[in-house]
Structure 1
Amino acid sequence: MVKHYISIKMQNIGHTSRILIVDDVQLNLDLMKDILSDQEYQIATAINGKSALAKARAHKFDLILLDVVLPDIDGFEVCSILKSNPQTQDIPIIFLTAKKEKDSIVKGFQLGAVDYIPKPFSKEELLARVNLHLTLRRAQHELIHSKEIAEASAKAKAIFLANISHEIRTPMNGIIGMIDIMKRTELTGEQLEYIDIIGISGENLLMIINDVLDFSKIEAGQVTFERIIFNLADEINEVTKILRYKALQKGLSLSFQIAPEVPELLIGDPLRLKQVLINLCNNSIKFTSKGFVRIQVSLIKSDEELVRLYFEVRDSGIGISPENQSKLFTSFTQAETSTTRKFGGTGLGLAISKNLVQLMNGSIGIISEEGNGAIFHFECEFGTVTQTPDIEDNQALEEILNFDKKFKILVAEDNVINQKIAILNLEKLGHQVLVVSDGIQAVESCIRESPDLILMDIQMPEMDGIEATAKIREWEYLNKVKTRVPIVAMTANAMKSDKELFINAGMDDFLGKPFNVSDLIWLLNRIYKQQEV
C-alpha cells in the first residue's frame, strides 16, 4: 500500500522538490542521497550545522532531513536558528535520530520539526515520510497561491465596484439634480405632475442601481454602518414620504405606528434602517392591489447600553405560500418566475435586507398565507441615548436658508452637468460659486480665492481630489493658516472605508452622489456648526 502511494505521488512532486540532507556520517549521506535521487529529487548535502545553515540561507529547499548529533552545532540548535529566520522558518524539518528517548523526540517537535525518522531506517519508511511532507508542502503552497489569487480578485472586484459606482451615479446625479431644480421653477400643474413622474422613475432606477451595488458590496464585505443619534419617528416618516406616491397610485394607505415605550432617539445607522424598511415596504406595495401597507415598531428589551426593537411591515396583498417563503430572501430569486414578468424587480431587495439586518445583530422573517396578506418582520439592535442632545436642526436649517452672508464656495468637478447643478443649487441659496475642473485648478483657486468651503470631487483628471486635498493642507501648514478651509468629498464612490479615506486625507465631510438641495443645506449646517464650535 505504501509503495503504491509513493509511485503515484512521485510523478507529481519528485521533479521539482529540493531536499537538504544534514548528517556528519558520509555513509548515511550517500545512502539517503542514492535512495532519494532515484525519485529524481534535487539533493544537496551538509556534514555539519554551520554548512547546513549557510546552504539553507543560500538556496530554497522544500524539505530538510536533519541529524540530531552533529560535530559543531547539534540539530536542535540548527532547527532553532532556521525557525527564527523569516527566510527559512517555513521549511519543514524532519529529524534523523538514533535517540529513542521521549524527551528528545518531544524537544524536536517543540522546536518546530514536522516529523522524525529513527535510525536505522528502511528505504520504504524514508520515502513514505519524505513524500508525505513534500505533498503537504505543495498543498500549503497551493493554498497560499489560491489565497493570493482570491485576495487579488477581491481587490479587483472592489476597484471595479468603485469605478462602476462612479460611472452610474454620476449621470444619475445629473438626472435627479436637474429634476430637483426644475421643481423650484415656474411650472403649471400639469408640468409639475410630469416632472414628479420623471423624478419617481429616476428614484426607482436609482433604487435598482443601489440594490445591485449594495449586493456586490455585501458579497465583498464592503458594507459599513454609522453610529449616530437619530430620531426613529422622523426616519420612518421619511420612508413613508418616499413611497407615498407609489402607494397612492394603487389606492393604498401607507402608515406607521410606533409603540409608546419605544425610545424617541436611538444610536445606529438610520440610512441602513431606512434601506431595509424601504425594501420591505416597496415589496408590500408591489404585491398589494388594494387595502394597506403599515409599519409597526415595538420594544423587545432595553438597558443602559442597547435597545432591541421589533419591526413589522404588514400588508393586505396577495400573500405567499409556505413553499415559496423560503425563496424570498435568496439573491436574484422571486417566489415564481411569473412574478417577475407581472410585477418586475431584481429579486435583490429582500436578500439585501436580510444581510443588513444580520449585520445589525438581528434576524428577519415572514408570516403569510396565500391570499391573506403578509407580515415581514425583523428585529435589530441600536445604542441607547443616555443624554438627550441639544439639537435644533430646524432652527439651524432656517438660519442657513436666511443667512445674510454670501459664502464663497469652490466646486471642483470635472462633469459639466454636475457643475451646472452645483451652481444652480448653491446660487439659489445665495452663495457665490467658483467652479474648476481638476485637482490642480482646485489647489490654485483655493490659494488665490480663499473660499469658505470646497466641494471636492474625488475622480478628476490631472490630479484627483485626494491629492488636491493633501496639497491644500500642506500649503495651509507651510503658510501657517489659522483656520483651514472645510473640504467636502463630493463623489459617487460608495465603497467600504471611503469616508474614512477622505477624512484621513484631510477632508471634513462626505457628500454622496446623487444629491439634492436638501443634502447641500444639511451639509452647510454641519460644516458651519463645526466651525462655530
Structure 2
Amino acid sequence: MALKLGRMIVRLGKLLGILRGLRLRLVLLATCGIAPLTLLVGEILDAQRQEELSEARQSVIRLTREAGHRQADLLSNVENLLGILTSIPSVRNHDASICSDILADIFSHEKGLTNIWTARLDGSVSCSDDPAGLQLSMSQRQYFQDALDTGEFVVSNYIVGRLSGRPVLATALPFRSDDRRPDGGGFDGVVFASIDIDWLYHLAGYEVDGTELALVLIDANGTILATKPQRPDLVGKSMPDHSLIQAMLASPEGQGELPDIEGVQRIFAHVSLTGTGAKLALGIDRAAILEEVDQQRLLSFATLLLVAFGSIVIAALAGEFLILRWLDAVREAAARLGRGDLSVRAPLPPGGELRELAGAFNDMADCLEQRERSRIESEARFRDMAEVSSDWFWETGTDHRFTYMSQGIRMIGADSSRFIGKMRQDLATSLQTEEEQAAWVELAATLEARRPFRNFIYRVVGAGGTDHFVASSGKPVFDNDGVFVGYRGVGRDMTDAVETSRAITKAREQAEAANRAKSRFLAVMSHELRTPMTGVLGTIDLLGSTRLSVEQSQWLDIMRISAKTLMKVLNDILDFSKIEADQIKFESIDFPLQQVVDEVVRLFERSALNKGVVLEQMSDGVENRIVRGDPTRLRQVLLNLVGNAVKFTEHGRITIRVVAQSAGKETLSVRFQVQDTGIGIGEAERANLFQSFSQADSTTTRRFGGTGLGLAICKRLVEGMGGKIGLDSRPGGGSTFWFTVPLGIGSVADRSDLARKGVPVPIPRRILLADDNDLNRLLLVSILKRAGHSVVAVENGLAAVEAAGTARFDVVILDLQMPVMGGQEAAARIRSMGKDDDAGTSCGIPLIALTADARPDGAGEDTIDGIAEFDCWLTKPIDSLQLNKAIEECIHKAEKAVHAAIR
C-alpha cells in the first residue's frame, strides 16, 4: 500500500511538472490566441447584425423621403394642371355644359386624382367631373377662403372627401373670367383638384429584404388618416399618447425603433408631407429582419468552439515533439553571447520555426559582431568629417563651457583653442540690440530647463576684429543613469544670410512705402476731381429740367453720359487705390437681397433693350430674403459684371441668376451668376482677366473702352466679403461670370424701413448749407430752392456754427473740407451746443455730410469712418434726386429715434 502511494505521488509530481512546463504555456498560448478570435467573430457577427438593421433602417428612411418627394411632385403637377385649366375659357366663364365634360375627360387621364371641380365666389360648384359634385358648396372650406385671400395655389390638410368618402388632399387655385379687365382686381372663381392616397399604399407595398412595410398617416393633431395593415376602425381616431404618434408629432423628420399601432416592434422612419400638416411613417418588422442573421450567428459560434478545442489539443502534442529538445541548445548559446563571446552560434534544427529561431539567433550574433566593427569605423569617420566640414561641432559641460570644438570654427577666422573653457557670453560682442538681448534671455531659460535649442544666432568677433553672425543648435546629453552631462551640437557661419535678409527687409519696406505713396496720390487726385464734377452733373440736371429743343436735349444727353463715364473711371481709380492701401471697409446691415438685384436689372434694362439684347433675371431661394452684409459693395460687383455683359453682348440675351446654395442658422451662402451670349474670352486671356489694368486684349480696349480695373476691384471686394469669383467662357460662345458670398441671416424688426423705395415727395424745410466752393454752393442752393426748401448758405464751418446758434433749422448740410473750420469740427460744435428755448435754437437737428471720398450713392445708414456726429452722408457729385432723398430719409431717421426715446 505504501509502495502504491509512493508511485502515485511520483506520477503526480511528474504530471505537475509537465503542467508547469512548456506544454502548459503552449496550451495557454493557443487559448489566448483563440480567445481574441472568438471575440472578433462575435464582433463581426454583431456588426453584421447591426449592418442588417442599418440597411433596413436606411431603406425605410429612403422610402419615407421618397414619399415626401413624391407628394411634392404630385402637388407641383396638380398646380400645373390647375394653371392650365384656368387658361381654358369655358372654365373661367363657368360654362357648366362644356366645362364639366372637359374636367371629366381630364380626370379620366389623370391618375391619382379623385375629383376636379370649379366653384364660384359664393362657393357653389359650377363644373365637376362628377355630376354629384354640382350639389356641393365650398363656402365653408378653409382652403377655398385661403385661395381667394392669397390669390395663390393653396393645399389643404388631409381631409375626408365629400364625393369619394376617402382621405384626400384638396388643392385650389383662383382665377379671373375673360370679360374682366387685367387690372380689375379680385377673382371670379376657384378651380379645385383632390389627390387620392392610393400612391401611399402602393409605396408601402415595396418589400425590404423580403419583408413588407407598415404605414401610418396622421394629421397635425395626431388623428390617424390611414394605416397598413389597414385598420378602418382606427381611421379618424386621435392617439396622441401613442409613442409612435408622439415621435411623429415631435419633429418634421426622424427615425427610431418603436412599437406600431398593433404593438409590433418595428424600425420606423417618418417625414412631414410637403404642403400639408400631415406626417407619414413607414416601418419594417425588426424581428423578421434579424431572424436569418441570428440563425447564422448561432451556427458560427458552434463551429468556432469545435475548432478551438481541436487547436488546443494539437498545440499540446506538437510542443512535446518539436520544440523542447532544441530550446536548451539555443539557451546555452544565448548565455555565451551574453558573456561577450561574439563568435558563438546555435545549432540549426532540421526545419520549421525553431530552425528560423536558431537562424535568427545566429543572424543576431552576426549583426552584433558587424555592429561592433561598424561602431569603431564610425567613430573614426565622424572624427575625420568634423575636421574638414564647413560647419563645426561642439560639446559643453554642465556649466555650459566648451569642452570640444572641431576645426570647422576656422571658417570665421578663429582657432578652436580660443573657445575651450569659455561660455558663449564670453565670446559674444558687447554691442547687442534689444532683439539679441531677448534671445540671450530665452537661451538661458532653455539651457536651465535642459531643452534642445535650434538656430540661436549671436555675434562673435572673428579674424581682424570683424563681427560674425553664428547660428548654433544643440541638444542636452544624459548618461545611462539620466544624469545631465552637458550639451552637444553644431554651429554655422550665418553672416552672409543675415546681411542678405536685412537687405531684403529694407527693400520690402521701401517698396511698401512707394506703394502707399502711390495710393495716397491716386486718392488725392480723385478727391480733387470729384468736387468740380458736382457742378458739372448738377448743372446738367438743372438744364435738363428746363425747356430745351430736341437737338439741345441730345447734346445734354451726350454731356451727361460723358460726365458719368468720367465718374466711373474716377470711382474705379479711387476704389483701387483704397484697396491697394487696405482701406476698404465693409458694412454689416440688414437689407432685402432681391431688391439689390432688381435695382441692377432696372438700371441696365434700357441699355440692353436699345441694343436688342434680352436682359432677364432668375432667383431661387432669395425672394423675400432679408440678409445681413454690405449691399453697396454687393451692388457694385453686380453693376460691374452686368455692365460688362451689356457692353460686350451685341445680340442674344443676358441672364442674371441668384441662388441660395446652403443655409445655416446664422449664415446663407448665395451664388450670383451673370451669363451672356457676347464675344467670349479665350483661355490665354482668362488667366490675367482679374489682374489690375487688364482686359481681354488691346482690341477690346479700343473697341469697348474701360480702365481694366473693374474686374480686379470685383475680385478684391468679393474676397473681402469672404467669397470667391470665377469665369467660364470660350471665344464666340459667351461668358459666365459668377461669385459666391456668405451673408448673414437678417433679423429686421421693422421691415418697412427696408422696403422704402423711390424719392419721397419733398416737404418744404428750412436748411442750413455750408460749402466753401462758390459754384457748388450756388448749385446746391438752386437745387434745394427748386424743391421748395428755404436755404441759408454760408462759406465755412465757423459761419455754420454761428448760424445754427441763432436760428432753428430742420437739417444742416456740411462740406467736410472747408477753410477756417472743417465740417467735422463744425458738426461736433453744433452737437455740443445746449438747447436755448428763448432763442429757438437746438443742437438735435439732423446733420448731413458732403464728402468727395468714394462712397455709395445716397445717404448711408452708418456714420462716416471716424465721424460720429453725422446722421447721413452724401458723395459728390450730387444730383437733385439724391439730395432730396437724403434730406427726407435723414429727417425720418431722426424722428424715429426721438419716438423710440420717448417710448
Shorter-normalised TM range: 0.7 to 0.9
- The AA in structure 2 aligned to 1:62 is Q
Q: Deviations over 1:421-470 (max 9, x none)?
A: 21122112221111112222222222233332221111112222222223
Shift of 1:105: 7.3
Contact 2:864 2:873 in 1 (8 A): no
Match of 2:686 in 1: 325
> What secondary structure sits across from 2:751 in the alignment?
coil
2:873 paired with 1:513: no
Work out whether 1:374 is the aligned partner of 2:735. yes
Q: Which residue of structure 1 lines up, in the alignment, with residue 853 of structure 2?
A: 493
Does the residue aligned with 1:347 lie in a helix, a strand or coil? Answer: coil
Structure-1 residue corresponding to 2:261: none
- 1:316 equivalent in structure 2: 677
The alignment status of 1:436 with 2:794, answered yes or no, reads yes
The answer to whether the aligner puts 1:456 opposite 2:819 as a matched pair is: no
Equivalence map 1:143-154=2 (5 Å): none
Contact 2:653 2:677 in 1 (8 A): yes
1:339 to 700, 721, 725: 700
Write out per-residue CA displacement over residues 342-367 of structure 1, whole angstroms, 9 at most, x where no aligned residue.
Answer: 22221111111111111122111112
**CA–CA separation in structure 2 for the residues paired with 1:144 and 1:328:** 31
In the alignment, is residue 62 of structure 1 matched against residue 446 of structure 2? Answer: no
Moved more, 340-349 or 478-487: 478-487
Partners of 1:126 and 1:191 in 2: how far apart? 82
Query: Any idea what the Cα deviations from partners look like across 1:175-200, whole Å, max 9, x if unmatched?
Result: 22222223323334544343333222
Between 148-157 and 453-462, report the one with greater CA deviation.
Answer: 148-157
Partner of 2:274: none
**Could you say what secondary structure the match of 2:547 adopts?**
coil
Structure 1 residue 490, shift from structure 2 partner: 0.4
SS at match of 2:607: helix
199-208 or 159-168, which deviates more = 159-168
Structure 2: how far apart are the matches of 1:502 and 1:311? 29
Aligned partners of 1:236 and 1:274 also within 8 Å: yes
- 2:765 aligns with 407
Task: Please list the CA deviations of residues 54-102 of structure 1 after superposition, one character each: whole Å capped at 9, or x if unmatched.
Answer: xxxxxxx436xxxxxxxxxxxxxxxxxxxxxxxx67645758x9x9x98
Residue matched to 2:604:
243
Which residue of 2 is the match for residue 10 of structure 1? none
Query: Given the superposition, is the C-alpha separation of residues 439 and 430 from structure 1 closer, same or farther in structure 2, using an over 3 Å criterion?
Result: same
Give the corresponding residue for 1:526: 889
Q: 1:185 aligns with which of 534, 537, 546?
A: 546
Are 2:702 and 1:351 aligned?
Answer: no
| Equivalent residue, structure 1, for 2:266 | none
CA distance 1:162–1:470, change in 2 (3 Å): farther
Correspondence for 1:71: none
Match of 1:401, SS? coil
Does the 8 Å contact 2:694/2:709 carry over to 1? yes
3-state SS of 1:459 partner: coil
Question: Residues 163 and 493 of structure 1 are in contact (CA less than 8 Å); yes or no, is this contact kept in structure 2?
Answer: no
Change (3 A) 1:5 1:187: farther
Following the alignment from structure 2 to structure 1, what is the Cα–Cα distance between the partners of residues 469 and 584? 47
Range 125-134 or range 340-349, more displaced: 125-134
CA distance in structure 1 between the partners assigned to 2:771 and 2:501 by the alignment: 49
Residue in structure 2 matching 1:445, options 803, 812, 815: 803
> How far apart are the structure 2 equivalents of 1:125 and 1:526?
75
- Most deviating of 164-173 and 442-451: 442-451
| In 2: Cα distance, 1:232 partner to 1:103 partner | 61
Any idea what SS the aligned residue of 2:583 has? coil
1:390 paired residue number? 751
State the identity %. 33
User: CA separation of 1:353/1:108 partners in 2, compared to 1, >3 Å: closer, same or farther?
Assistant: closer
> Deviations for 1:283-334, whole angstroms, at most 9, x for unmatched residues?
1122211122221211211233112111111111111222322221111112
Aligned letter for 1:366? L
1:94–1:114 Cα contact (<8 Å) kept: no
Q: Summarize the Cα distance change of 1:105–1:289 in structure 2 as closer, same or farther, 3 Å threshold.
A: same
Could you say if the C-alpha distance between residues 425 and 408 of structure 1 is closer, same or farther in structure 2, counting changes exceeding 3 Å? same
Whole-angstrom CA distance in 1 between matches of 2:597 and 2:446: 70
TM-superposed CA distance for 1:252, in Å, is 1.9
Residues in 1 aligned to 2:703 and 2:673: alpha-carbon distance in whole angstroms: 25
- Secondary structure of 2:806's aligned partner: helix
Alpha-carbon contact 1:439-1:460 (below 8 Å) kept: yes
Q: Residues 88-127 of structure 1 correspond to what in structure 2 (within 5 A)?
A: 91=437, 94=440, 104=448
- The answer to whether the Cα contact below 8 Å between 1:217 and 1:495 also exists between their aligned partners in 2 is no
SS at match of 2:788: coil
Matched residues in 2 for 1:90 and 1:225: separation? 41
Please say which of residues 244-253 and 385-394 is displaced more in the overlay: 385-394
Indicate how the Cα distance of structure 1 residues 395 and 188 shifts in structure 2: closer, same or farther if over 3 A, else same.
farther
Where does residue 306 of structure 1 map in the other structure?
667
Q: Quickly say closer, same or farther: Cα 1:277–1:125, change in 2 above 3 A.
A: same
Higher relative contact order (CA 8 A, sep 6+): 1
Which residue type is aligned with residue 343 of structure 1?
F
Which position in structure 2 is the counterpart of 1:19?
Answer: none
Check whether the contact 1:287–1:317 (CA below 8 A) recurs between aligned residues. Answer: yes
SS at match of 1:334: coil
What SS class does the counterpart of residue 448 from structure 1 fall into? coil
Specify every segment of 5 or more residues in structure 2 that has no aligned partner in the other structure, as ranges.
Answer: 1-389, 391-407, 414-421, 472-492, 897-903
Displacement after TM superposition at 1:234 (Å): 2.6
How does the TM-score come out when normalised to structure 2? 0.44
Could you tell me which amino acid in structure 1 is paired with residue 851 of structure 2? T
Matches of 2:437 and 2:869, distance apart in 1:
45
Question: How far does the alpha carbon of each residue in 1:147-183 deviate from its partner, in whole angstroms, 9 at most, with x for none?
Answer: 8756755664554344223212112222222222233
Query: Per-residue displacement from partner, 1:217-268 (whole Å, max 9, x unpaired)?
Result: 1111111111222233332232233333433442222232222554433222
> Which of 168, 183, 191 in structure 1 is aligned with 2:529?
168
Q: Could you tell me how far apart the structure 1 residues matched to 2:719 and 2:631 are?
A: 15
Question: Hey, what's the Cα distance between the residues in 2 that align with 1:237 and 1:287?
Answer: 21
Aligned to 1:75: none
C-alpha contact 2:811 2:891 (8 A) present in aligned 1: no
Distance in structure 1 (CA, Å) of the matches to 2:446 and 2:762: 86
Q: 2:648 aligns with which of 282, 287, 293?
A: 287
Choose 1 or 2 for highest CA Rg: 2
> Kindly tell me: are residues 270 and 435 of structure 1, through their superposed partners in 2, closer, same or farther at Cα, counting changes over 3 Å?
same
Measured after TM superposition, the shift of residue 491 of structure 1 is: 0.8
Aligned residue in 1 for 2:776: 418
- Which of these residues, 259, 265, 270, is aligned with residue 631 of structure 2? 270
| Aligned residues of 2:593 and 2:622 also touching (Cα < 8 A) | no
Q: Is the 8 A contact 2:769 2:813 kept in 1?
A: yes
* CA–CA distance in structure 1, aligned partners of residues 875 and 506 of structure 2: 37
Q: Give the Cα separation in 2 of the matches to 1:265 and 1:190.
A: 46
Structure 2 CA distance for partners of 1:134 and 1:241, relative to 1, 3 Å: same
Q: How far apart, CA to CA, are the structure 1 residues paired with 2:440 and 2:752? A: 69
Q: Deviation at 1:139?
A: 7.8
Aligned to 1:55: none
